Each structure stands twice: as C-alpha cells, then as structure tokens.
C-alpha cells in the first residue's frame, strides 16, 4: 500500500534512533568499547514527584558495555530492537511488541545462538529504549493492547476520518493504542467532564441511558486496569481541554488502585508517567462510606478476604494516599470489613447508578482527592 508521509515527530524519533547507532559507530572508530547509557529502572530509582504529582524515574544511570561478557547479549539486543523500530517507523507501520519479538528472532549465522529466546527478553529492551530516549512507546510505533471504549459529545480526527462520538450507537468507539496529538485530534468538544468507568458493563449502562448527552460529559472505560491509550486520552482531555476527570470504580482495593494508576501512574511505567498520568483526576466512588450515605443494603456488600486486607494495608502506606480523606475511607473499609461492586447499586434500581448515585456525587462534589 502507498505509504503515508512521515510526520515531523516521526522524523525526530527516527533521528533519535539513528543517533544511537551513530554514537556507537563513533566509539568504535575511536577504538573504544561500545557503551550505551540508560536510566536505572529498579525500584530504588523510582519516586513520587511532588512537583508533577506523578510517579517518576530518578536520575541514576547505568552503562551497557559491548565488551563486558555480562552485557554483550543485551547490548546486541538493544541495537537490534532500536534498528527494527526505526525500520517500522520508516515503513510507516505500527507493530505489536510480540510482532517485534518474532521479527527479530533468528539464529545468529555460524552459531546455534538465537537473538532472543522469548518475548520476555525483548520487552525490557523496548522499555530501556523508551526510558533512555525519553520516548513514548506510541512514538516508537509500537501498539499496546487496546481495550477501551469512549462516547460523548466530541469528534476525533484520526487520519482522514472524522469520527463523531455522539453517533456510536450502543457500541462506542474502540480507543486505539496511539492517541498522540500527531495521530488523533480532538475537535468540537462540548462536554463538562469525563467519567472514567472501571467496568465495561457499567459503561454500557451509562451509554444505554445516553448519560453523556443528558449530563454533557464523556464516558470512557478501560475495562479493568486501563491501557495506555485510555490513560493518555484522559490526560489530554484534562491537560489540553481542562476537563475534570472523575473516576468510578468498585469500592475495593483493586478499584482504588486503578484510580491510583490513572492519577499518579504505576511503578513499572515510571519512565513514562509524566505523559500518561492525570494528577487532577478525582475519585467519585464507589466508597464504603457510600453504603450508609446511600442506604445500600448490607446483603450486597462482600466480606474482605485476606488478600483484600493485605492490599488495603499496602495502599494505606502509599505516599499519595496519606491524606485524611483516603485514610478515613481505608479505615472505614477495614472497620466495616466489607467491599462492594458497582453492580451492587442495581439493588436500588436498574437506573439508580445513572440517575441518582453519580449525579448526586457530582452535584455535591463528594469526591476523594
């Protein structure tokens, strides 16, 4: 097929990758052992940055040396991955990280050694390149798994297509993995906030009731722990368009952790979180405090198990949860010894969640920080 023209950003990224090779070539020509510098990505170099309010990678660096036997395999892999990514960008394609692994897997001529034995070897090398060049995976034309759905009063310009998110019927638009500004333009936005919903089934309830139309908002789900696309899209709606982001999850440590990742980011992606996290997001619910507030019958709550209590304890100790509002909620969950799911609200009526619960929480600004 005809290749589309490279964007300015693609050219910059391609140049950065070429530079990796050029630098190494320089070292070789000078008679030096080739060395590649990269940030340390272990826990002791990860911190919560008070300024950006996101999880971030510190400035500890390490070196990968070709002439060090312990490094040479990884070194070879790093160069292979960087070269292949540059090829993918130049061909104006996008591939999955599994494609990349297979594309590069081969037996090195004259040996019985494979370049990669499993995808577990190529994935960390990709992360090294992202972190060392300060590039998003999407800018490297690597697709993450995409599972989110969105609807609401906005249009999205994606290539030649203008997609009207008010006209998606019962299905919704499937959020792609790359939502970077040079790929997706947000147009004709007429919404007052974003409702970021943990569960797809609950999103369907809001979509069926055309909640986004009635309440002038955007409804977005990441189906569980959201993917990069949904998180980056929420960040763009927050930062570029100043929309409040309200997160709606189960009242359990897992739902609240999903909120935490949307807001502050995760340790494993610390090197990209400034570009993925949405520090202005607010937690709408569900909370265990809502049980009494909304007179939810006890029968639909679920007793905490050992895993829940363990996770709850860990969460209470997170720096960003050390405010009195969250500590109060965690304490209440522990004291009452229950959690509850969003679907439990159905006990109060089919449309209780769309017609009463969420609108009241928003009206009363009853959020957790």
Q: Could you list the residues that contact a copy of itself (CB under 8 A)?
A: 1, 87-88, 91, 93-96, 98-103, 105-107, 114, 143, 145-147, 149, 156, 158-159, 161-163, 167-178, 183-184, 200-201, 204-205, 208-210, 214, 223, 297, 299-300, 341, 343-347, 350-351, 355
Output the smallest distance, CB 209 to a copy of itself, in A: 6
205 vs 176, 179, 197, 287, 352, CA distance in Å?
22, 25, 11, 20, 11
Output the smallest distance, CB 164 to a copy of itself, in A: 9
User: Is the dihedral angle over the CA atoms 182, 188, 191, 197 positive or is it negative?
Assistant: negative
- CB of 133 closer than 8 Å to CB of 16: yes
* For a copy of itself, the closer CB: 30 or 167: 167
Instruction: Tell me how far apart the alpha carbons of residues 96 and 91 are, in angstroms, rounded to a whole number.
Output: 15
Q: Which residues are marked as active site?
A: 102
Of 202, 203, 199, 361, whose CA–CA distance to 282 is shortest?
A: 361
Token readout for 347 is 């006990």
* For a copy of itself, the closer CB: 26 or 106: 106
Token readout for 192 is 């007052």
- CB of 45 closer than 8 Å to CB of 60: yes
In terms of Cβ atoms closer than 10 Å to its own Cβ (0-12, 13-18, 19+), residue 152 is: buried
* For a copy of itself, the closer CB: 40 or 302: 302
Output the smallest distance, CB 351 to a copy of itself, in A: 7
Q: Give strand pairing partners of 96.
A: 143
* For a copy of itself, the closer CB: 25 or 93: 93
Cα R_g (the chain), whole angstroms:
23
- CB of 246 closer than 8 Å to CB of 279: no
- Range list of β-strands (E), the chain: 35-39, 46-49, 54-57, 61-65, 95-96, 142-143, 149-152, 155-158, 161-164, 173-174, 184-187, 193-197, 217-221, 245-248, 282-285, 302-303, 338-339
Output the smallest distance, CB 180 to a copy of itself, in A: 11
* For a copy of itself, the closer CB: 270 or 287: 287
Output the smallest distance, CB 276 to a copy of itself, in A: 18
Output the smallest distance, CB 338 to a copy of itself, in A: 14
* For a copy of itself, the closer CB: 9 or 53: 9
């Amino acid at each position: 097929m005809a290749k589309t023209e490279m964007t300015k950003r693609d050219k910059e990224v391609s140049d950065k990758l070429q530079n990796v090779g050029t630098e190494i070539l320089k070292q070789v020509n000078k008679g030096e052992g080739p060395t590649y510098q990269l940030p340390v990505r272990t826990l002791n170099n990860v911190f919560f940055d008070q300024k950006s309010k996101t999880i971030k990678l510190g400035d500890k660096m390490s070196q990968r040396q070709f002439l060090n036997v312990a490094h040479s395999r990884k070194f070879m892999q790093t160069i292979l991955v960087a070269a292949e990514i540059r090829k993918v960008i130049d061909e104006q394609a996008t591939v999955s990280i599994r494609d990349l692994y297979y594309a590069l897997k081969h037996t090195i001529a004259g040996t019985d050694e494979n370049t990669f034995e499993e995808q577990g070897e190529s994935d960390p090398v990709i992360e090294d390149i992202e972190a060392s060049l300060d590039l998003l995976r999407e800018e490297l034309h690597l697709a993450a798994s995409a599972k989110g759905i969105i609807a609401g009063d906005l249009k999205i310009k994606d290539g030649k297509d203008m997609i009207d998110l008010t006209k998606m019927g019962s299905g919704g638009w499937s959020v792609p993995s790359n939502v970077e500004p040079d790929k997706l333009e947000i147009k004709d936005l007429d919404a007052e906030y974003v409702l970021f919903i943990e569960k797809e089934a609950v999103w369907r309830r809001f979509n069926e009731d055309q909640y986004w139309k009635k309440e002038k908002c955007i409804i977005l789900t990441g189906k569980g722990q959201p993917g990069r696309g949904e998180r980056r899209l929420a960040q763009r709606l927050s930062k570029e368009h100043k929309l409040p982001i309200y997160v709606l999850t189960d009242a359990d440590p897992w739902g609240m952790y999903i909120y935490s990742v949307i807001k502050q980011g995760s340790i494993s992606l610390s090197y990209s979180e400034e570009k993925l996290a949405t520090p202005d997001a607010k937690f709408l619910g569900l909370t265990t405090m809502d049980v009494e507030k909304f007179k939810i019958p006890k029968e639909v709550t679920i007793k905490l198990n050992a895993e829940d209590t363990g996770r709850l304890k860990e969460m209470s100790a997170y720096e960003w949860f050390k405010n009195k509002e969250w500590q109060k909620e965690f304490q209440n969950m522990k004291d009452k010894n229950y959690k509850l799911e969003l679907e439990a609200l159905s006990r109060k009526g089919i449309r209780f969640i769309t017609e009463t619960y969420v609108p009241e929480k928003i009206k009363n600004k009853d959020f957790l920080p």
